[in-house]
Amino acid sequence: MQMQSFGAAMTVTGSMHLLTLGNKKILVDCGMFQGGDDLEKRNYETFPFDPAELDAVILTHAHLDHVGRLPLLVKRGFGGAVYCTPPTAALAETVLLDSARLQVEGYKQDLRHARRQGKADEEVPPPLYEEADIHRTLALLRPRLEFGKTETVAGIRVTPQRAGHILGSAYLLIESPDGRLLMSGDLGNRESGLQLDFTPPPVVDAVVIETTYANRTHKPWAATLGEFSEALRDSVRSNGKILIPSFAIERAQVILYTLKGLMDAGEVPRIPVFLDSPMATRATNEYFEYGDELIPQVRDALRGGEDPFRPSTLHVVPTSAESQRLNKYDGPAIIMAGNGMMTGGRIQHHLKHNLWKPSTNLIIVSYQSPTSLGGKIVAGAESVRIMGEDIAVRAKVHTIGGFSAHADQDDLLAFLSTTGNPHVWLVHGEVGVMAEFVPVLAGKGLKGDIMPDHQTVDLLGPGFKDGKPDGLVIPAAPRDVAKAEGGE
């Protein structure tokens, strides 16, 4: 039972794990690196295996950092089946079409810049893929995975279970003649969100587990709501804008649902809410479609014909031109826009027009890679460069980790509490965070190892001394950066 990780190994983004089980090769997730140029240039690396030789691909969920390089895999020769749950297939279509559009737009912009600098067109890297590649990819999706039902994938028994992270998200029980393995995908935060809690897993021999938040505990939900409400009231008092950079899937719906609840309860004033993210609007439609999957209060509201994601003051902003017009809008208002780490998208022009004003509140509800624009703001930068201009950071910056869609340390330990005595392999975390989690696992009698990048490991083998591969230098775990979502 061997595994090589080509993403989300010693980092939080780009999930891609190659399992070799007997003579079968199965790729679990095929994600994009997100969160600043240094990480994102890894998307251009060639695959360190022949895509045509894979027997199958399984997707745990539809976040871009778990599906974003799938069209590239297809472009480079993969033509087999891609297994996932039906909601994951639906969301993957939205996510991948948006990704292709951004790729092509980014390429055209880089080309214009390069030409003005007198460079040759060939110096600009082409888009990773285009819309035609997405359609070829979507044709390979087999949305046959159902929670609790065993499916045979390339001759291997695979049982998906509810992971509680986003709509359709699964963790996988993989049974081979060598042993039983759990691949966690991303696990949900049991205290917040719209998803039912993850299903307690069975006893296994090895676990590959995400560790985004493995060194911390989320604030209780009541405190999170209090902090969020206070930031909203403060903006109304100072007549300022409230900017919420938001990922389109799950976080946007959680924020809309929370805003509606707070407004209906009279906890916060009914100020305008602008949803400035066409992708979030499309993703919300899938939450309607698969409403039976959601927590009872949301499911029942949907069955009763209500829209739990629509505060009475909601305005959907379809076009970029309308988005630009918001810059002239006077008075307090909530603007939700992508992308979540502020490295691109409509949030950038809102930041440019509002970040320098002390009356603005910037509410950060998701993971910010330290190298991203969001990461720099959270770390206390006094000025940041946005769309070619230096902008002073005078806004009040709130980081509210309780909205995270990711498990915290307590959730991760609860997940592992029913798995017996497996060998635990840590992925999808910053190295410093994982290094703090290894001794916590040891305290529970579990052998934990940091999964190395690219290196082949025997998941049932002895692992590493002190939980880390030889020669690994461990940086201190960052504590001052809002964390939640690996990339998306």
Residues of the shown chain interacting with Zn ion in the complex, contacts defined by CB under 5 A? 63, 186
CB of 167 to Zn ion, least distance (A): 11
Cβ proximity to Zn ion, 259 vs 405, nearer residue? 405
What's the closest the beta carbon of residue 212 comes to Zn ion, in angstroms? Answer: 9
Q: CB neighbours (10 Å) of residue 313? A: 16
Nearest approach, Cβ of 427 to Zn ion (angstroms)? 12
For residue 38, the tally of other CB atoms under 10 A from its CB is 10
Query: In 10 A of CB 460, how many CB atoms?
Result: 16
| Residue 349 CB contacts under 8 Å (≥ 6 apart), including other chains | 323, 324, 327, 387
Cβ nearer to Zn ion, comparing 186 with 436: 186
DSSP H stretches of helix in 220-274: 221-237, 251-264
Residue 89 or 446: which CB sits closer to Zn ion? 89
Q: What are phi and psi of 212, to 5 degrees?
A: -45, -45
Our CA dihedral for 95, 99, 105, 106, rounded to 10 degrees, sits at: 140
Residue type, 203: V
Least separation in angstroms between residue 431's CB and Zn ion is 19
Interacting residues of 169 by C-beta distance below 8 A, sequence separation 6+: 60, 61, 85, 88, 162, 163, 185, 186, 188, 195
The distance of closest approach from Cβ of residue 186 to Zn ion in the complex, given in angstroms and rounded to an integer, is 4
Task: Find the shortest distance in angstroms from Cβ 206 to Zn ion.
Answer: 21
Q: Which is nearer to Zn ion, 186 or 411 (CB)?
A: 186
The least distance separating Zn ion from the CB of residue 234, rounded to whole angstroms, comes to 30
Identity of the residue, 171 or 437, whose beta carbon is nearer to Zn ion in the bound complex: 171
Strand 389-392 relative to strand 396-399, pairing: unpaired
Q: Which is nearer to Zn ion, 192 or 323 (CB)?
A: 192
Closer residue to Zn ion, CB minimum distance, 186 or 205? 186
Number of separate helices (H) and strands (E) present in the chain? 14, 22
